[in-house]
Chain A
Amino acid sequence: MSGRVPMHGERELVQFSFEGQEVTAWAGDSIAMALWAEGSQALRNSSRDGEPRGVLCNMGICYECLVVVDGVTMRACTTPVKAGMQVARGGRR
């Protein structure tokens, strides 16, 4: 359903976890785009109704993609992946 556009050149592979599952990303990915490429679109549960939300603006404006990275709430679309980071869905648990 998603995946990568063919690209020239190489990037390092980066392993991190999302909701306890291992995810393989490429260096230079944002958390949001690494997860999208692997098929995870729901990044946050909305504040009142707990509805799934995902990428809306992809440029740091809307805060719909808030996730919890090693205990700190961050925008998944502007935060680069780092090896070993533990990412959880943001918003209502």
Chain B
Amino acid sequence: MSDAILSADVGVVGAGPGGMAAAKELARAGLRVVVLDEGMRAGGQIFRQLPVGVTAAGDHAEPPSHDAGHELLHDFAAADVELVSGATVWDAAPGRLWFEHDGRSRLLECHHIVLAPGAYDRCVPFPGWTLPGVMTAGALQVMVRGFGVVPGRRALVVGSGPLLLPTVTSLLSAGVEVVAALEASSRWRALRAAPAIVGNAARRREATFYAKALWRSGVRLQWGRTVFACEGDGRVQRAIVGKVDASGRPRRGTERTIEVDVVGAGFGLVPSVELGVLLGAETRHDAARGGHCVVVDDQQRTATKSVFAVGEICGVGGAEVARAEGELAAAAILAETRGAPVPDARSRAAMRERRASDAMLRAFAPLPGLVELARPDTIVCRCEDVRLLAAQQAAQLHGDSHRAIKMGCRAGMGPCQARICGPSLQALATGDGARAMDRPIVQVPLKPVRAATIEQAPGRGATT
């Protein structure tokens, strides 16, 4: 049982850009840092690395932001940090993080916690979205960039927001034909992001890279269109696509059918706030930032003492925001433990990156009309096979709070704990696409773990 309990000055959850940035800064200053990460290698979703031993062989250029990613990965690897990969954190209290790792129940005890759990794809249900081969844009990226696996022959990319572009370029780099790339927002709505991109040098370089890459490939982003349905026998074989109006409502009668064998849907990201909520952090709802976000002060402190939060958990913002906030949180922890003042440059960098990303994301806030893609028999909760009609009836009978709908039809009661259906469940059940979800209900275990992990959890006897 000796290594069942780890101890550190700082425990970091997540080895994406925010967690890596915080960890390497803290380790450089001599603090003992343990990073718990659910992935197989450091990098998070944005800087996914191929498995140990291989590198990509193609001559496909990477976006300029990945230079910063490589630098961060290098600094993180060089820092004296203990990384626990494949760790699922399932319970937490200030100074304590319980996790399952390689089938074992373990505990990390630490003075400070930095939460950098990232975000996950927002899902918009449509008929046929449960067919194998229909997945999130993030899943496609992981497949290509994290494992070097070819997703299929003919791909459809749909959704809304800046992440569609890297999804298309990843598919192209894997030799996949991108049959169509459909952005649900209108060109005019998306243009509102332009000032934020033009005014920020790094974002300008990034946008230029993708514009050129798409132009060379011949794939043209089609605006104001999305997927209406997917069909196939046991896996996706066809997609029905069509036009949507300015609010995202499908314009029936504009459909056409295309043959595809893989579909990537990226309708934005949802901050992974569960650990923050469990630890008592305040949250607020910000539609442009992806939903409920953990509230932090100007040095990334949550309302809970010694618990910091950085990156997407404070609202979707991207790698540059996460990195700057991670470095700021590290400086703030060093200020608390060592009395070193927080450098102004750190605060300014975090604020500047956050402002730039907020300005861009406002142009891609979720489109309310997309809830009309779902039909009465469309599955909304995939874990429990709950269809839209059942969720609507539950809302009518029991009330339209998240809890009431859940009790009425079991939506959100499965193993994903409403991470997939939750963000759109109340909007779907009420028919009001602009309806925000209630604050997420979190319960322990935060993710399904083995019963033995809970029974044998170390360090719970006297203190819990």
User: Is B143 an interface position by the 8 A CB rule?
Assistant: yes
Q: Which residue of A lies closest to B415 (CB)?
A: A63
User: Is B51 an interface position by the 8 A CB rule?
Assistant: yes
In angstroms, Cα B132 to Cα A35, docked, is 13
- Interface of chain A, main secondary structure: loop
User: Is B218 an interface position by the 8 A CB rule?
Assistant: no
User: Is A61 an interface position by the 8 A CB rule?
Assistant: yes
Decide: A59 near B45, CB < 8 A? Known: A5-B56, A54-B132: yes
**Residue pair B450, A62 in contact (C-beta under 8 Å):** no
Binary interface profile of A, 42-75, with partner B (CB < 8 Å = 1, else 0)?
1100111101111111111111101000001000
**Residue pair A63, B414 in contact (C-beta under 8 Å):** yes
**Residue pair B55, A59 in contact (C-beta under 8 Å):** no
Q: Which residue of B lies closest to A40 (CB)?
A: B132
User: Is A93 an interface position by the 8 A CB rule?
Assistant: no
- What total of chain B residues lie within 8 Å of the partner, measured CB to CB? 59
User: Is A9 an interface position by the 8 A CB rule?
Assistant: yes
Binary interface profile of A, 23-55, with partner B (CB < 8 Å = 1, else 0)?
000111110010011000111001111011111
Which residues from 124 to 144 on chain B have a C-beta closer than 8 Å to any C-beta of chain A?
A: 130-136, 138-140, 142-144
User: Is A84 an interface position by the 8 A CB rule?
Assistant: no
* Residues of chain A with a CB closer than 8 A to B144's CB: 5
In angstroms, Cα B151 to Cα A33, docked, is 9
**Residue pair A78, B38 in contact (C-beta under 8 Å):** yes
Q: Which residue of A lies closest to B132 (CB)?
A: A54
**Which of A48, A49, A56 has the most C-beta atoms of chain B within 10 angstroms of its own C-beta?**
A56
In the complex, which of the residues A2, A8, A46, A56 contacts B54, with contact meaning CB atoms closer than 8 Å? Answer: A8
**Residue pair A42, B415 in contact (C-beta under 8 Å):** no
User: Is B165 an interface position by the 8 A CB rule?
Assistant: no
In angstroms, Cα B234 to Cα A9, docked, is 35
* Residues of chain A with a CB closer than 8 A to B173's CB: 5
* Residues of chain A with a CB closer than 8 A to B146's CB: 33
* Residues of chain A with a CB closer than 8 A to B175's CB: 5
**Residue pair B149, A37 in contact (C-beta under 8 Å):** yes
Q: Which residue of B lies closest to A49 (CB)?
A: B385
* Residues of chain B with a CB closer than 8 A to A80's CB: 40, 86
In the complex, which of the residues B40, B132, B420, B448 contacts A41, with contact meaning CB atoms closer than 8 Å? Answer: B132
In the complex, which of the residues B57, B385, B415 contacts A46, with contact meaning CB atoms closer than 8 Å? Answer: B385
- Closest beta carbon of chain A to B152's beta carbon, Å: 6
* Residues of chain A with a CB closer than 8 A to B384's CB: 47-48
**Residue pair A60, B38 in contact (C-beta under 8 Å):** yes
- Interface of chain B, main secondary structure: loop
**Residue pair A11, B235 in contact (C-beta under 8 Å):** no
* Residues of chain A with a CB closer than 8 A to B45's CB: 59
In angstroms, Cα B132 to Cα A55, docked, is 7
Which residues from 339 to 384 on chain B have a C-beta closer than 8 Å to any C-beta of chain A?
A: 382-384
* Residues of chain A with a CB closer than 8 A to B419's CB: 61-62
**Residue pair B143, A58 in contact (C-beta under 8 Å):** yes
Binary interface profile of B, 402-425, with partner A (CB < 8 Å = 1, else 0)?
000000000000111001100000
- Closest beta carbon of chain B to A63's beta carbon, Å: 4
**Residue pair B383, A4 in contact (C-beta under 8 Å):** no
Decide: A53 near B382, CB < 8 A? Known: A36-B149, A63-B416: yes
Q: Which residue of A lies closest to B142 (CB)?
A: A58
**Residue pair B133, A2 in contact (C-beta under 8 Å):** no
User: Is B52 an interface position by the 8 A CB rule?
Assistant: yes
- Closest beta carbon of chain A to B13's beta carbon, Å: 13
Binary interface profile of A, 1-20, with partner B (CB < 8 Å = 1, else 0)?
11111111111000000000
**Residue pair A27, B51 in contact (C-beta under 8 Å):** yes
**Residue pair B382, A64 in contact (C-beta under 8 Å):** yes
**Residue pair A53, B50 in contact (C-beta under 8 Å):** no
**Residue pair B139, A56 in contact (C-beta under 8 Å):** yes
- Closest beta carbon of chain B to A3's beta carbon, Å: 5
Decide: A57 near B136, CB < 8 A? Known: A5-B174, A46-B385, A48-B384: yes
Decide: A47 near B38, CB < 8 A? Known: A2-B150, A33-B143, A37-B149: no
**Residue pair A11, B53 in contact (C-beta under 8 Å):** yes
* Residues of chain A with a CB closer than 8 A to B414's CB: 47, 63
Given contacts A6-B58, A37-B150, A62-B419, 15 further A-B contacts (CB under 8 A): A5-B173, A7-B56, A28-B147, A37-B147, A51-B130, A52-B131, A54-B133, A56-B135, A58-B138, A58-B139, A59-B45, A59-B139, A62-B382, A63-B383, A78-B86
Task: Spell out B's residues near A (CB within 8 Å).
Answer: 38-40, 45, 50-58, 86, 88, 103, 120-121, 123, 130-136, 138-140, 142-144, 146-153, 173-175, 234-235, 261, 272, 382-385, 414-416, 419-420, 447-448, 450
